[in-house]
Structure 1
Amino acid sequence: MYRTLCKSKIHRATITDANLHYEGSITIDSDLLEAADIVPYEKVHVVNVNNGSRLETYAIEGRRGSGDVCLNGAAARLGARGDAVIVISYATVDDAEAREWQPKKVMVDKRNRIMATSLDRKDPTNNHESCNNILTTSDILGL
C-alpha cells in the first residue's frame, strides 16, 4: 500500500503580490523552494490563513532572496498582499516508509525570510504553533 503524506510546508508565508493576468501558479522565492524541497512545477496546496481558502496549483521559481510569494492567475482571487499562507507539498511513499516519515517545515518571518526549519516528529504535543527539533539557519549552514 502507498500513502500520500505531507512532504514539506512553508509555514505562514506572506503574500507579496497577486497577479490575476499571469497564467497561473504561485511564484515562490527560490531560497524557500530549496529549503522546503519543492521543485519548479511541483503541485502544491496553498492554504490562506486570513480567509480560509484552499487551492491547488504548481510552484514556479522566484528570484533568490527576494521573499516573493505571489499568487498568479485565478489563484490571485483567493488571496491578497499581506495575507498569511501555508504552502504544502506532498509525496507518495510505501507503507513502511510512511510509518517513519518526517515532513520538513520551513518557518518564515513576515518578510518571508527563513527563520528556522524543523522536522515534524510523531509527537502528539507537536502542533502547528510549535516547532520541535528546530534547526536555525546557522545550524543548516554550519555557522
Structure 2
Amino acid sequence: MLVNVVKSKIHRVKVTGAELHYIGSITIDEDLMDSAGIIEGERVQIVNVTNGERLETYAIPGPRKSGEVTLNGAAARKVAKGDTLILIVYAFMELEEAKAFKPSLVFPDEETNLLK
C-alpha cells in the first residue's frame, strides 16, 4: 500500500510578487528549492497563512539568493505581495518506508526568504 506523506516544506515565506499574465506556477529561489529537495515542475501545495487560501501549482526555479517567491498566472489572484505562505510537497511511499522517512523542513528568514 502506498501512503501520501509530506516530503518537503518551506515554512513561512513572504510573497515577493504576483504575475497574473504568465503561464502559471510558483517561482521559488533555487536555493530554497534545493534546500527543501523540490525539483523543477514538482507539484507544490501553497497555504496562504495571511488569507487562508490553499492552492496547488508547480515549482519553477528563481534566481539564487534572491528570496523570490512569486505566484504566476491564475494563482496570482490568491495572494498579495507580502502575504505569508507555507509551501508543501508530498510523495507517495510504501507504508514502512513512510514510517521511517523524515521530510525536509526549511525555515528561511521570514523577512528576506533567504536561508539562515
TM-score by length of 1: 0.79
Distance apart, 1:104 and its partner CA? 1.3
Q: Which residue of 1 aligns with 2:32?
A: 32
1:68 is matched by which residue type in structure 2? E
CA-to-partner distance for each residue in 1:58-108, whole Å, 9 max, x for gaps?
A: 000100111100000000000010000001011111011111121111001
By relative contact order (CA 8 Å, sep 6+), the higher-ranking structure is 2
2:54 is matched by which residue type in structure 1? R
Distance apart, 1:114 and its partner CA? 1.2
Q: Which runs of 5+ in 2 are unaligned?
A: none
Q: Which residue of 2 aligns with 1:85?
A: 85
Segments ≥4 residues shifted beyond 6 Å: none
Number of matched pairs: 115
Whether 2:82 is the aligned partner of 1:52: answer no
Whether 2:107 is the aligned partner of 1:114: answer no
Q: Which runs of 5+ in 1 are unaligned?
A: 116-143
Identity of aligned residues (%): 53
2:43 is matched by which residue type in structure 1? K
Structure with greater Cα Rg:
1
TM-score by length of 2: 0.97
